Structure 1
Amino acid sequence: MQKETDTWYTSWFDTPFYHILYKDRDYEEAGFFMKKLTSFLNLSEKSKILDLACGKGRHAKYLNKIGYDVTGVDLSASSIEYAKQYETKNLHFEVHDMCLPYPDKFDAVFNLFTSFGYFEKENDNLRTIKSIKEELKPNGYGVIDFLNTDYVLNNLVPSEVKTVDGIDFYIHRYLDDGYIFKDIRFTYENERYFYTERVRALTLEDFKNYFFEAGVKLVNCFGDYHLNKFDKNKSERLILIFN
């Protein structure tokens, strides 16, 4: 079954297979990162945080657990439907397109786990950063947690088979036309599936250009979830803090 669409993320993110493939994400590491980040930003208790492209809400739930007033938004209706079971007085989830400003103001806006750069239109990357700017209170901080393109391309594993819950996912990675692609093929209940992930191979310089055009300032740049200094050749992540 061909499941690739012009906007691949709207179909792939809404499937149960996406969450099966990535079920081994490190929740302990995610919690550590959230503690480290909120401490670095000196966010006081009950500060308002927007989790942009929150998925099923793993970061949003943790942030709420440690005392913050959190709103999680995502384009995936099924992910938000799932996340809503965890809503509390200070934890809310809503379907929302992150290219558009959310109608509220926050002390911090987090865009985590490479939830950026997959748009069909190049201008949507800039629109998203402009939207984050609109969502921030005075002296608030935007955070984008992206992959380090240089490191990824230098360490790219072209092909692998990953077996999760009895499903063999055949994965092929490659660079084409400025995008990092991941083709994913598998068979489930005698039906064949094919999805493609695509993310723009953005570098630190690309983000600096976006920030300049959006009228925001890069404050800090880190290379991992321990907030160590960014090294384009060695860092696995590109974590940008701006206001």
Structure 2
Amino acid sequence: MQKLNETWFSSWFDTPYYHILYKDRDYKEAESFMKNLTRFLGLSKGDSILDLACGRGRHSVSLNKKGFDVTGVDISPASIVYAKDFENDTLHFKVHDMCKPFPAKFDAVLNLFTSFGYFEKEEDNLRTLHAIKSNLKENGKGVIDFMNVEFVLQNLVERETKTVNKIKFHIHRYEKDGYIFKDISFTDANDKYFFTEKVKTLTLDDFLSYFQKAGINLIRTFGDYNLGNFDVSNSPRLILIFN
């Protein structure tokens, strides 16, 4: 259950059920994306990367195996405890609020797989972008991998039931008040649970407005994990490269 003053993401992400529901994500596609992205960014072995909102660190571990010096941060203490089992001399994990600058600078800061737009306060989106910019080295680059809102709304599956680890998750998706909601209800060991995911319907124009306010320069946009061109109607992703 969500506690008073606790955000939906800090409560939901810190439960084991979040990781159960999403355990079958396409790892092969994610690995290909990391390879394509680091090549486009011109990163070399030994370069430093901040994985912002890293979850349990799957992509941080993958990037580290490619030879990068990686720091993964997330607001979920449970996720970071799990990720710390993978730490080594060039891979570190810490609990951190991405609205605030991290006390180091990096060759790249990556915010992957729609880990932006969660906040109740509009100013927190801008604070996060200011923080990312402050964490970039002089020639460093930032990446935000967000959903393409128009494509998502055109293809929204309103209701779905997924059974994972013998748990039947009932999912209801809808748009309301400038957010896309996902209500998730299920029963486990005779206990009933209900969580809601909520992500702001940010478009390219919204990000451009944020970037202008944060003094950020947009370098390139892509529309998928193969780094194809962004098309507002047909691209599944909105991938922003900036400095």
Q: 1:163/1:109 Cα in 2 relative to 1: closer, same or farther (>3 Å)? A: same
Q: Which residue of 2 aligns with 1:175?
A: 175
Q: Deviations over 1:148-182 (max 9, x none)?
A: 00000011110010110100000000000000000
Q: Which residue of 2 aligns with 1:223?
A: 223
Q: Which residue of 2 aligns with 1:94?
A: 94
Q: For 1:160 and 1:35, how far apart are their aligned partners in 2?
A: 32
Deviation at 1:27, TM superposition (A): 1.1
What pairs with 1:1-243 in structure 2 (closer than 5 Å)? Answer: 2-3=1-2, 6-243=6-243
Q: For 1:105 and 1:114, how far apart are their aligned partners in 2?
A: 23
Q: For 2:194 and 2:2, how far apart are their aligned partners in 1?
A: 6
Q: For 1:220 and 1:172, how far apart are their aligned partners in 2?
A: 34
Q: For 2:214 and 2:182, how far apart are their aligned partners in 1?
A: 30
Q: For 1:224 and 1:105, how far apart are their aligned partners in 2?
A: 27
- Please tell me the residue identity of whatever aligns with 2:180: I
Q: For 2:222 and 2:88, how far apart are their aligned partners in 1?
A: 32
Deviation at 1:3, TM superposition (A): 3.8
Q: For 1:135 and 1:57, how far apart are their aligned partners in 2?
A: 19
Q: For 1:235 and 1:3, how far apart are their aligned partners in 2?
A: 34
Q: Percent identity?
A: 64
Q: For 1:38 and 1:3, how far apart are their aligned partners in 2?
A: 37
Q: 1:229/1:4 Cα in 2 relative to 1: closer, same or farther (>3 Å)? A: farther
CA contact (8 A) 1:143 1:240 kept: yes
Q: Deviations over 1:180-208 (max 9, x none)?
A: 00000000000100000000000000000
Per the normalisation by structure 1, the TM-score is: 0.98
Q: For 1:173 and 1:205, how far apart are their aligned partners in 2?
A: 24
Deviation at 1:92, TM superposition (A): 0.2
Deviation at 1:4, TM superposition (A): 7.5
- Please tell me the residue identity of whatever aligns with 2:11: S
For the residue of structure 2 that corresponds to 1:34, the secondary structure is helix
The worse-fitting range, judged by mean Cα deviation, of 93-102 and 24-33 is 24-33
Q: For 2:54 and 2:95, how far apart are their aligned partners in 1?
A: 10
For the residue of structure 1 that corresponds to 2:80, the secondary structure is helix
CA contact (8 A) 1:73 1:94 kept: yes
Q: Deviations over 1:2-50 (max 9, x none)?
A: 5486510010000000000000011111111111000001111110000
Per the normalisation by structure 2, the TM-score is: 0.98
Q: 1:223/1:4 Cα in 2 relative to 1: closer, same or farther (>3 Å)? A: farther
CA contact (8 A) 1:4 1:194 kept: no
Q: Name stretches of at least 5 consecutive residues in structure 1 with no aligned partner.
A: none
